[in-house]
Every structure is written in structure tokens, then in C-alpha cells.
Structure 1
Amino acid sequence: MAAYDDRDGKIWMDGTLVDWRDAKVHVLTHALHYASSVFEGERCYNGKIFRGHDHSVRLRKSASLLDFEVPYSAEEIDAAKEAVLQANGLKDAYVRAFAWRGTGEDMGVAAARNPVRVAIATWEWGNYYGDAKFKGAKLDIAKWKRPSPETIPVAAKAAGLYMICTMSKHAAEAKGCSDALFMDYRGYVAEATGANIFFVKDGEVHTPKPDCFLDGLTRQTVIGMLKDRQIKVHERHIEPGEMEGFEQCWLTGTAAEVTPVGQIGDYNFEVGAMTKEIATDYEKLVRS
């Protein structure tokens, strides 16, 4: 595929659809230097963005947690996403909406006088983990940990929070893995680099309590699906050693959708019936 800066199509920037190759920012953009940026990853199925409005609301909330305001309402962001999908002729696509502090009078840590920029891009994107979605992903265990809520706004989908994700995923891929699993600052199981995690034992589901990482919209959707099926869900702190006793495992996320996990470090899991059923039901839901 072509590099992301050299494609045909349109990108929505600050209220206007511009040619893809012209969607540029200055090198002194504040976000490039100080990570003052938030974003959303969304998927459009059959012309409809799954939970699109919820994503727009969260984008604004993330910005607020980083002490800036997105200059568009959630409804205006919704309309912009529809416009860029239509402009690119896409019905099944990934959608990336993002907001950041741009270039202005300030170029130090403080940037209150700089304008907030907003852009939305969309492109075709298949399975995030490739064929691992069917046979089970293999995960490394990251050396980095998810930080304490006292150190950073963990409820924001903020660019700066993904720095350790990039490093951890690179290290995992170098070992032949699809992704990496983080522990949190206390040593409990947390999440993968861009997805939440679920485990199955004796017909019940266990998933880490999201008190220091993002409570993903896909995670919330899947928990609702499980409860609708009368499956007990335990949201709790999980010790790493407990993984030895879990039978099944899967990841959830907008990009990951529902992806089974076959191995984490030295721990192995079956791609069992519950995992397959939830993945199938989720696929039906997002396309309904």
C-alpha cells in the first residue's frame, strides 16, 4: 500500500475537505513536540459507524482531560465523519478523528494561545492482527507498565499514552508475536497495546478493572453482550499468575474487534466456543 502521506482521496481538516496530500501541519505544531493530541479509532460497517456518536463524545472528553476544548460539537464531528466517508466513497472503513494543539504564539510547554486543530481521515483497513483473528494471537509481556492515575489522565485516549505501546509492540513483533500485554503500575494484568483483554474460566469471564487504563467502547459492548447471555463477568484486579488457570482469552478494540488469543508469554489458551461465539455475535452486531 502507498504511504499514508501519498494517497488519493479527501481528509476533513478544520471544517473543510482537502486533498489527501495537502493535509499537512507545520513542524512547530505543539502536539508534535509535547503530545498535546487526542484521537479516536472507529470502524464503519455497511455505511454506518459503530457507536460513532459515542466516539465523538469521547474525543471531546479526552481533549478536556488534556486541558483543551475541541471547537466542534459531537454532532458536528458526527457530520464531518459522514462527509469524509462519502467523499472517499467508503462504506466499510476505519475512521480516525483527532484533535491537537496547533501552531500559534506559544512554543514552550504552555500553549493556551495556540489554536486547536481537528481532522478526520478514513481508509480501508482489514483485520488488525491478520490471520491471528482466526487462529489466536500470540502476545509478549511488555517490560513497561501502565501508569498510575496520579501521573497522567488515564481516561483520555491521548497520543502520549501510546508511546510505550509503540515500543512494546515493536519488541513483541521482533519476537514473532502479534502484540504485547501490559501489567499496571501495581503489577496487575492491564491490557494490550491497543486492546482490552478478557479471560474465561469455568464458564465465567474475568477482565481487568479499568482503573488505570481506557475503558474501551468495544470492551463495554462485549460486556453487555456477555451479560445479555447470562454469562457472569468479573471486572477485577487479576494477578499475572492467574493466567495459568484461564482456559480462553480474547482481545477487544475497535481495530482488533474480537480477536482470540492463543498464547501470552508461557501461558496457552484454547480458541474455545465462548470466544468464537462472542466474536461471531459481535460481527453480527456491528453489521446489523
Structure 2
Amino acid sequence: MAGYDDRDGKIWMDGQIVDWRSANVHILTHAIHYASSVFEGERAYGGKIFESRKHTERLHASANYIDFEIPYTVDEIEAAKQEVLTVNGLTDAYVRAVAWRGAGEDMGVASARNPVRLAIAAWEWGAYYGDAKHKGAKLDISKWKRPSPETIPCFAKASGLYMICTMSKHAAEAKGCSDAMMFDYRGYIAEATGANIFFVKDGEVHTPKPDCFLNGITRQTVIGMLEDRQVRVHERHIMPEELEGFEQCWLTGTAAEVTPVGQIGDYNFEVGQMARDISDDYETLVRS
């Protein structure tokens, strides 16, 4: 497959549809140097983006968290996303919207005078974890921890917050794992590098309380699905030593969808019926 900078197709950029290979920015773009960017990852199924408006609203909220305003309304971004799908002839696709501080008068840490830019791309993308939906993903345990809310805008989907996720996933892949689970700054179980995490014990579900990391849209959807099935869900702080007692585990996220986990470090989990049912139900929901 060609690199992401060398493909056929069209990208929406600052209100215009441009050729894929022409969707470029200047080397002195502020976001390249200081990570002043936010983004959304979304999936379209049958031509319809699942929870599209929630993603766009979160994009605006993320920009506000890192102190800039996106110069397009939610409705304008919604229309642009659909235009990208249409012009590229895509129905089942991954959609990436990204907003950033561009090149302008400022090239230090401060960048209030620089324009805010927005681009939207879409492409075909299969299962994020390959065949793990059937076998169960294998996770490493990261040495990096999700930081305190006092140190970062932890509820923004901001590019800079993913630096330790990238390093964690690289380390995991070097060990033959699909991803890494991260603890938070207090030592509680937090999430994977790009997905929320759930556990099952005695027919009930336990998931970390999202008080220092992103409360994912897929996470919220899955909690609603579990409650509809009359499954008790505990959102709470989970200690590492509890891993030994959990029977099942799965990850949730737009890219991950619902992916069962078979192993985290030295701990093994069954790819059980609840994990399979929730994965199947989610697949039905997003295509309904």
C-alpha cells in the first residue's frame, strides 16, 4: 500500500476539495512544532458516519480545551464529511477530521495570531487489530502512565497527548503484541493507547472511571448497550492486582470497534460469550 501522502483521492481542506497529494502544509506550521492540533477518528458504515455529530461536537470541544476556535460550525463540518465520502465514492470508511494552528505571524510557543485550519480525509480501513476480533488481542503493559488532569487537558482529543501512546505501542509491537494497556498517574488501570478497556467478572462489567482520560464515544455506546441487556456496569478505579480475577476483557474505540482481549502481560482472558455478543451487537448497531 502506498504511503498516506501518495494516494489517489480527494481531501477537504479549509473549505475546498483538493487532490490528495496536494493537501500539504508549510514546514513552519505551528502544529508540527508545538502539537497545537486536535482530531477525530470516525467510521462510516453503509455511507453513514456513526455518531457523526457527537464526533464533530467533541472536535470543537477539544479545540477549546487547547485554546483555539475552529472557524467552521458543526453543521459545516458535518456537510464537509459527507462531501468527502461522496467525492471519494466511499461507503464503509474511516474518516479523519483534524484542526490545527497553521503557519502565521507567530513561531514561538504562543500562536494566537496564526490561522486555525481544518482538513477532512477518508479512506478504506479494515479491522484495527487484524484477526484479534476472533482470537483476542495481546496487550503489553506500558511503562508510561496517563498524566494527571493538572498537567494536561486530558479530556481533549489532542495530538500531543498521543506521544506516550505512540511510544507504548511501538514497544508493544516489538514484543509481538497488538497494543499496550496503560495505568494512570495514581497507578490505576486506565486504557489502551487508543481505546478504552472493559473487564468481566461473575457476569458483571467493570471499566475504569474516565477521570483522567478520554471518555470515548464508543465506550459510552457500549455501556448503554450493556445496560439495555440488564448487565450491571461498574465505572470505578481498578487496581492492577485485580487483573488476575477478571474472566473476560475487551477494548472499545472507533478504530478498535469492540475487540476482545486474550492476554495482558502475564494475565490471560477468555474470549467469552459476553465479549462476542457485545461485539456482534455493536456491529449490528452501527449498520442499522
For 1:36 and 1:56, how far apart are their aligned partners in 2?
A: 18
For 2:248 and 2:133, how far apart are their aligned partners in 1?
A: 14
Pairwise CA distance, 1:133 = 1.5
Matched to 2:177, the amino acid is C
Pairwise CA distance, 1:134 = 1.2
For 1:186 and 1:174, how far apart are their aligned partners in 2?
A: 27
Q: Which residue of 1 aligns with 2:56?
A: 56
Structure 1 counterpart SS, 2:5: coil
Q: Which residue of 1 aligns with 2:66?
A: 66
Q: Say if 2:25 is the partner of 1:31.
A: no
Q: Which residue of 2 aligns with 1:145?
A: 145
For 1:284 and 1:245, how far apart are their aligned partners in 2?
A: 30
Structure 1 counterpart SS, 2:156: coil
Q: TM-score by structure 1 length?
A: 1.00
Pairwise CA distance, 1:284 = 0.0
Pairwise CA distance, 1:207 = 0.1
Structure 2 counterpart SS, 1:141: strand
Q: Which residue of 2 aligns with 1:190?
A: 190
Q: Say if 2:189 is the partner of 1:208.
A: no
For 1:177 and 1:67, how far apart are their aligned partners in 2?
A: 36
Q: Say if 2:104 is the partner of 1:104.
A: yes
Structure 2 counterpart SS, 1:60: helix
Percent of aligned pairs with the same amino acid: 79
Alignment of 1:1-288 (within 5 A): 1-288=1-288
For 1:276 and 1:73, how far apart are their aligned partners in 2?
A: 38
For the aligned residue pairs, the C-alpha RMSD in angstroms reads 0.3
For 1:90 and 1:28, how far apart are their aligned partners in 2?
A: 33
Number of residue equivalences: 288
Pairwise CA distance, 1:145 = 0.1
Q: TM-score by structure 2 length?
A: 1.00
Matched to 1:206, the amino acid is H
Pairwise CA distance, 1:98 = 0.6
For 1:24 and 1:273, how far apart are their aligned partners in 2?
A: 46
Matched to 1:106, the amino acid is D
Give a deviation string over 1:136-182, Cα, whole Å, max 9, x none.
00000000000000000000000000000100000000000000000
For 1:71 and 1:190, how far apart are their aligned partners in 2?
A: 33
For 2:74 and 2:221, how far apart are their aligned partners in 1?
A: 20
Matched to 1:73, the amino acid is T
Matched to 2:163, the amino acid is M
Structure 2 counterpart SS, 1:160: helix
Structure 2, unaligned stretches of length 5 or more? none
Give a deviation string over 1:216-257, Cα, whole Å, max 9, x none.
000000000000011000000000010100000000000000
